[in-house]
Structure 1
């Protein structure tokens, strides 16, 4: 079909834009108006994160830790010397294990709200069975904790339910075990963790730094945080997300068991009945305060270590000053501060935008392409028709 110069621009425009039966029409993508001005639509995140905001916040945490240590030293210099230092390190190791478990579950997108009740149940179990020895008393608790974490992980993956909801339900079930005690339980074992205080706290510090370093590696961070909420939850699944969810919940449950045993054996005081939810608030709150995002995946390197150290020092300082602050109040304060840090991390932890809509428009056109001109024609030998916006009628386009 040969091309004929149109005499009516309006008729020509209707023919090339709306005649679906013509064989020499514009590409289908040009039948609708093309708009390239204004901001670009939101693009789904690809897992790239900026670690600078984490490092900056960790400097603030380090300074805060140093300030609390100075206040504690000024209150009582013996607090940072042995044997008081051993008890301080043991408490820090227990809180650190809770925080490690909470942080990993947060990174995996399945925050484990059962860590506090699990820790309290493990404390009761050790208090009642510690006279059998550390290993015989600890082994059944570890097995039950790992099995419980695995079952909850399977429920989350199979039913595509939120991790916080499934773990909260599991935690409430564990609370029933602790509520069977109506009076404090004396610790029967004779294991004294203060003898391994430096080893316990050093082990926690090593795990915290190793986990933070691995989390800074892009592929590892994206793999662990593959369950991070985005889009339809029913479409999340498969081995890519199942494995980190299982590992996170099993590890966090085991860490909670270890923390409970250390808390029971450390001060050698009776284990008091309760819910353990205050320790859930402490663990997750410290993980958030350390820079781990409440939405998953994002996290720092040194934040967990600094946050745990700061709170451990503050608890000792608060006890020596006899401030008598409820542990629930401390947990709520830490949790609230952690939510603020999450907003900071989410706002400044994502990559910088490539540019606004006008910059993209200029880059896309590159000075040669225009959505108003046909790109492809069925008859390449025919001459290009003139632009219909050329001339006095172009202003009405």
Structure 2
């Protein structure tokens, strides 16, 4: 009987099946390097602090209350743009939505502050539902869907005329600080939530799936676009409420300028144009930096329109996106290499190691000895010259280990009785 060891192909198949059954972790999204966002946000904090200090030393730049009143809606709009970028559906209609919410808020101001707030935020949420439906369910690209919605709002605003006279008083300083604190808190909260690896893992399919194809994250896209539109509406309401001039005339925001400023601040803050990646505090610091530079240019009478600073911020944001993507690419490769090295399937080799080959050859020799014993042949004899049994070489008739020295020749050759004892003297 011959015991055949598993062949190389069978061994390979077994190892492959074992590797498939073992979880390798390749289905997990690679983690991002948050250090690049931390370093960049520290730099933004220093730059924004220096610019705001320069603004405070400039005559004609306005008071701190005016600066805070202008910063609150900018932070809201930048956060709205950053949320839409994270879910892979950039909302270019944040400015038009802010304009629509401000118009409705001013027009309904005669019914009281609560009613005006409800109307302004309600219409922004309704537009958000429409935009989210286009991007999440119809899977239209975010830039196209938001461009269509923004264009529709612009056409409506051109034919709607001016709203009714604003009937509410100007928002007090405590209300301005509350609005700024709420805007900063919302931005930091969603930035902190987006820093968790589990959230980024759920956003990864949106980033990796081409536009128009199903990625299984429609609910996240719907929520992100709806939240972005609602924040944009809140920014429009704050802009209208804090910018009431004398005489109660309506103060409606510029939709194009607000969109450009929001996109520039979000990109400079570290939010990637490719989706999923972003920092925690960068949006707030970048909004303060962009607004501070615009106020500084206006206060010192620089020879160009301060709006160009927002456009330059978008171009700078392209460079920041490139930096974020490059600094995270190495981390993805390292993570994939580490997980691949830990997979059971990677232990498979084309040839077995030398120790395994030696063991296989030894088992083959023992199998031949057992087969010879079963057929009645003496496993210790060899008529074909040298042979190996268990790794011990034997030569011809001298293969008998008991006859190698001749000491036991008499016992081997003497006749025996029926009980196996030698018979002498007969």
Tell me which interval the TM-score lies in, with the shorter structure as reference length. Answer: 0.7 to 0.9
How far 1:309 sits from its partner (Å)? 1.5
Runs of 5+ in structure 2 lacking a partner?
14-25, 366-426
Decide whether aligned partners of structure 1 residues 194 and 88 sit closer, same or farther in structure 2, where only a CA change above 3 A counts.
farther
Matches within 5 A, 1:235-250: 235-238=213-216, 241-250=217-226
The answer to whether the aligner puts 1:106 opposite 2:85 as a matched pair is: yes
How far 1:353 sits from its partner (Å)? 2.8
Q: Are the counterparts in 1 of residues 76 and 231 from structure 2 also a CA contact under 8 Å?
A: yes
What is the aligned counterpart of 2:261 among 282, 295, 305? 282
Deviates more, 1:115-124 or 1:173-182: 173-182
> For residues 205 and 303 of structure 1, what CA distance do their matches in structure 2 show?
11
Runs of 5+ in structure 1 lacking a partner?
3-23, 31-42, 385-397
How far 1:274 sits from its partner (Å)? 8.5
Deviates more, 1:269-278 or 1:123-132: 269-278
> For residues 177 and 153 of structure 1, what CA distance do their matches in structure 2 show?
20
How far 1:117 sits from its partner (Å)? 0.6
Q: Are the counterparts in 2 of residues 121 and 177 from structure 1 also a CA contact under 8 Å?
A: no
> For residues 86 and 256 of structure 2, what CA distance do their matches in structure 1 show?
20
> For residues 273 and 267 of structure 2, what CA distance do their matches in structure 1 show?
7
Matches within 5 A, 1:68-83: 68-76=51-59
**Residue in 1 that maps onto 2:21:** none
The answer to whether the aligner puts 1:191 opposite 2:174 as a matched pair is: no
The answer to whether the aligner puts 1:52 opposite 2:35 as a matched pair is: yes
Q: Are the counterparts in 2 of residues 87 and 194 from structure 1 also a CA contact under 8 Å?
A: no
* CA deviation string 1:59-110 (max 9, x = no partner): 110111122122212223x968xxx211211110011111111111111111
User: What TM-score do you get using the length of structure 1 for normalisation?
Assistant: 0.74
Decide whether aligned partners of structure 1 residues 337 and 28 sit closer, same or farther in structure 2, where only a CA change above 3 A counts.
farther
The answer to whether the aligner puts 1:353 opposite 2:333 as a matched pair is: yes
User: What TM-score do you get using the length of structure 2 for normalisation?
Assistant: 0.69
Q: Are the counterparts in 2 of residues 178 and 275 from structure 1 also a CA contact under 8 Å?
A: no
The answer to whether the aligner puts 1:132 opposite 2:111 as a matched pair is: yes
Larger Rg: 2
Matches within 5 A, 1:26-45: 26=9
Decide whether aligned partners of structure 1 residues 356 and 92 sit closer, same or farther in structure 2, where only a CA change above 3 A counts.
closer
> For residues 190 and 320 of structure 1, what CA distance do their matches in structure 2 show?
29
* CA deviation string 1:148-201 (max 9, x = no partner): 21222222222222122112111111111211256x668513232243121111
> For residues 229 and 362 of structure 1, what CA distance do their matches in structure 2 show?
26
RMSD: 3.9
Q: Are the counterparts in 1 of residues 239 and 252 from structure 2 also a CA contact under 8 Å?
A: no
SS of corresponding position for 1:175: helix
> For residues 28 and 303 of structure 2, what CA distance do their matches in structure 1 show?
45
> For residues 328 and 115 of structure 2, what CA distance do their matches in structure 1 show?
45
**Residue in 1 that maps onto 2:69:** 90
* CA deviation string 1:338-385 (max 9, x = no partner): 11111111111342533999xx8999999x85425699xxx999959x
Aligned length: 343
Matches within 5 A, 1:1-397: 26=9, 46-76=29-59, 84-181=63-160, 188-195=166-173, 196-223=175-202, 225-226=203-204, 228-238=206-216, 241-269=217-245, 276-323=255-302, 325-326=304-305, 328-350=307-329, 351=331, 353-354=333-334, 370-371=349-350
SS of corresponding position for 2:207: coil
Q: Are the counterparts in 2 of residues 108 and 226 from structure 1 also a CA contact under 8 Å?
A: no
> For residues 143 and 365 of structure 1, what CA distance do their matches in structure 2 show?
56
Higher relative contact order (CA 8 A, sep 6+): 1
SS of corresponding position for 2:31: coil
> For residues 91 and 362 of structure 1, what CA distance do their matches in structure 2 show?
53
Decide whether aligned partners of structure 1 residues 232 and 98 sit closer, same or farther in structure 2, where only a CA change above 3 A counts.
closer
> For residues 295 and 307 of structure 2, what CA distance do their matches in structure 1 show?
16
